[in-house]
Structure 1
């Protein structure tokens, strides 16, 4: 299955929090979008890996994803090494996305920056002809594939984006997908321990950050991304 956009997240809910409205908008525009979670979030303070699995499936349905899979890397301990790179190369060559979205280049959680570099390096390596891969259970050699663009969404830290996407009209879909992870976020009736993302303030910040970024570009809501190479536009009037 070829995808237009492939989104990676170190944990289930990273993609929704960082780029949920952009994902919803691109799907509404007819793009085929998939998500690959690197881990099951099994070290999370609240909930369990099994609960996160169910929540991720629910969020995928809400967003209308073409596919959602989990690499089942070890939460907190996966590495940007040959083994993990080859595993991701197989998926990049399998889905052949034009654009890849992935974790923030710098963030509070150590898995976010590590996941960011792992995905970025794997996207580059995936285009090298002399790296041989095939999918598990399949002896057919995979053709090299390198996405045209790798963009990094913004997470806990307020990094300055290199560009912002107008997501007005898609915030409710993003919030609905985030609320699918009810074990993780604000729930006044929960008996689980408090975490940095379980507060009302954090959940509210998803909206006010998008509103503030929207203010800066003259729209209602926006999501920001950082880039790995200079952004190119076809003409001056291609910008908002």
Structure 2
């Protein structure tokens, strides 16, 4: 993925680990790209070590998954996996990405999760969003306040809060599942077959959220800020 940031992203997905973005919002990414929006992914850690993964495997899997979705800008901050903390150094690195990519919408982890890295990632996004707008700092780039922040669920969240909205991803479910399947070291290699498989489970969750809005497949989002609309046709 190119390391040079675009002048402005419509959507920036911030994920604790490679594969989090694909699992949680892969359909949203593919649907948005097909609609002509610019979408990038910021992975905070490499996700390694894992039982059947290596840094080299995970990088190759991430590149393959990005191609499956159509993502052309993705960056990894190489923060410590399993030890992610809401500290000042990490906050500054994320804030700089916000200032350089100037996203209109940030998609980040829901603040309540059983995975400590996901919780820390959510806290970091909140803090970095504020830092990104500050003047008179030593951060790279011009001050920027990302206008919208929406939170997505992960597979570790067993009790789901009521979403603020659910996005129809029916046309992109195959791209989402193809991207997730690229992470063989995380879902298939070295594992005994189970039913339902992890991939079936992820697809079934998307099917449930689609059912909730009378569509085939969907992805849920929460907003802690009010969502304004300019006309009722956006709800039709």
TM-score in terms of structure 2 length: 0.91
Match of 1:73 among 74, 79, 92: 79
Distance 1:238 1:163 in 2: 12
**1:12-23 pair list within 5 angstroms:** 12-23=18-29
Give the number of aligned pairs.
227
Match of 2:93 among 62, 77, 87: 87
Match of 2:54 among 48, 53, 70: 48
**1:162-177 pair list within 5 angstroms:** 162-177=164-179
Contact preservation (8 Å) 2:181, 2:199: no
Deviations 1:51-105 (A, max 9, x none): 1111111111111112111100000112111111111111111111111111122
Runs of 4+ in structure 1 displaced over 3 angstroms?
198-201
Deviation of the 1:11 alpha carbon: 0.3
Q: Secondary structure at the match of 1:152?
A: strand
Residues 1:117 and 2:113 aligned together: no
What does residue 229 of structure 1 align with? 225
Deviation of the 1:201 alpha carbon: 3.5
What does residue 32 of structure 1 align with? 38
| Structure 1: stretches of 5+ with no match in the other structure | 135-141
Match of 1:180 among 158, 179, 182: 182
Q: Secondary structure at the match of 2:163?
A: coil
Distance 2:174 2:39 in 1: 18
Residues 1:155 and 2:157 aligned together: no
TM-score in terms of structure 1 length: 0.89
Pick closer, same or farther for the CA change 1:145–1:199 going to 2, 3 Å: farther
What does residue 211 of structure 2 align with? 215
Deviation of the 1:150 alpha carbon: 0.8
Distance 1:114 1:43 in 2: 18
Deviation of the 1:199 alpha carbon: 6.8
What does residue 202 of structure 2 align with? 206
Pick closer, same or farther for the CA change 1:212–1:191 going to 2, 3 Å: closer
Q: Secondary structure at the match of 1:145?
A: coil
Q: Secondary structure at the match of 2:85?
A: coil
| Structure 2: stretches of 5+ with no match in the other structure | 1-5
Pick closer, same or farther for the CA change 1:191–1:210 going to 2, 3 Å: closer
Deviations 1:175-220 (A, max 9, x none): 00001101111x3xx335x7xxx87433212111111111111111
